[in-house]
Structure 1
């Protein structure tokens, strides 16, 4: 079980596998007013930066599940590096359908809502692990400005314009599911750059070291196309944010 190899290559040097900077991740942790001992579940936990830094800074405990064996091993090493190995646990596995045996105070899926076949299904899944009165965190793209055509949307790595909403509509959609939006931290163009541009040096160094690999041609093609694509499309059209939700029931 693993994610496609190209992602393990391109994001192998990333600590955060979405367009949040360390500063924005810290802002999110502070905004949630986390109490020492709070339990956090992270589905699609990547290299574990959220759980590890929040364990260090706020004294939370947590569990993360991710399909990437590489990222899971990086998360375990990060926990040791920050001295929080006794507070957080990382599991290499499929987060789809995962429900915690013990209820948690925060249940998160930051940028991997495919695990629940979309936002609504992922919220429903996370809610099954949550204490009453707990917080759900959803990381999701939205349109900063509406693409003029589906082809432009595809250049933003969407299937079509209808894949994402504008920010007001996305916030309203959470309300339609029965949740109050109680906080949000949004990516900006600079944090998009830090997520996307950091891949390019990783790809180039990997390509230099592995010129005969079966993925070398694909990596070379990405190095040629991705900087221009990002600057022309993702950076201009696509927003991204983490949204904190509490049930109205």
Structure 2
């Protein structure tokens, strides 16, 4: 049970596995104003940057769950680096079935709502771990502009136009699921660039070091088209944000 190796190659230098800058992650933590000792569950936590930095900055405690052995090892090292290994822990496992042993104050899934079969299912999954009056954090794409054709949809990693919604419709959907939207922090084009362009450098350096690897041809093909796809499609049409929700 692990992530495909191509994913960990692509994001080998990333601390945040979404189009969020460290500054935006910090803004989100400041906006939520969590009290010291707040418990957080982070499903599909990646390398654990949210848990580790918020444990340092806000004295939270919590658990991160991720399917990647590489990312879990990096998260544990990050916790030691920031001096918070006594307040956070990381579990290698399938986040799609993980429910906290005891209710938490914040339950999060940032940019991996596939674990619940989509955003509505992920909201239901997070609810199973959330205590009364708690907050859910959902990281989710939305259409910045209406995609004009199939090529745009597919270049934005969607199988269908209806996989994502425009931002007003996404906010309405949260309400239809019985949630109040109480905060949001949105990615901008610069944070998208930093997230995606770093992947290109990771791939190129990996290719230089591993020209005969069985994945080399696929990674070479990806690097050839990815920069153009980003500037032509993703940068213009795809938005992304983290939304804080509370049950009504």
Normalised-by-shorter TM-score class? over 0.9
Alignment-derived partner of residue 19 in structure 2? 19
- 2:10 match: 10
Following the alignment from structure 1 to structure 2, what is the Cα–Cα distance between the partners of residues 236 and 25?
A: 22
Aligned partner of residue 96 in structure 1, secondary structure: helix
Cα-to-partner distance string for 1:27-77 (whole Å, 9 max, x where unaligned) = 000011111000000000000000000000000001000011101100000
Aligned to 1:160: 160
Q: Give the 5 Å matches for 1:84-95.
A: 84-95=84-95
**Correspondence list, 1:35-54, <5 A:** 35-54=35-54
How far does residue 151 in structure 1 lie from its aligned partner after superposition?
Answer: 2.2
Structure 1 residue 150, shift from structure 2 partner? 2.3
Cα distance in structure 1, aligned partners of 2:130 and 2:37:
15
How far 1:102 sits from its partner (Å)? Answer: 1.1
Determine the C-alpha separation between the residues in 2 that align with 1:217 and 1:39. Answer: 44
Task: Provide the rounded CA distance (Å) in 1 between the counterparts of 2:160 and 2:96.
Answer: 24
> Equivalent residue for 1:175?
175
- TM-score w.r.t. the length of structure 2 is 0.99
**Matches of 2:110 and 2:60, distance apart in 1:** 17
Query: Counterparts of 2:155 and 2:164 in 1: how far apart (Å)?
Result: 13
Query: Matched residues in 1 for 2:119 and 2:223: separation?
Result: 31
Render the CA deviation track for 1:70-94: whole Å, top value 9, x for unaligned.
0110000000000000000001110
Matches of 1:99 and 1:223, distance apart in 2: 37
Deviation for aligned residue 1:152: 1.1
Task: State the distance in 2 between where 1:101 and 1:157 align.
Answer: 34
1:90-109 to 2 correspondences below 5 Å:
90-109=90-109
Deviations 1:180-220 (A, max 9, x none): 00000000000000110001111111001000000011111
Tell me, yes or no, if the aligned pair for 1:151 and 1:160 is still in contact at 8 Å. no
Per-residue displacement from partner, 1:213-239 (whole Å, max 9, x unpaired)? Answer: 000111111111101110100000000
Matching residue of 1:237: 237
Q: Secondary structure at the match of 2:97?
A: coil
Runs of 4+ deviating beyond 4 Å = none
**C-alpha separation between the residues in 2 aligned to 1:78 and 1:124?**
30
Cross-structure match for 2:129: 129
Aligned equivalent of 1:150 = 150
Rounded Cα–Cα distance in structure 2 between residues aligned with 1:33 and 1:172: 25
> Deviation at 1:178?
0.5
The size of the alignment, in residue pairs, is 248
Secondary structure in 1 matching 2:96: coil
Unaligned runs of 5+ in 2: none
TM-score, length-scaled by structure 1: 0.99
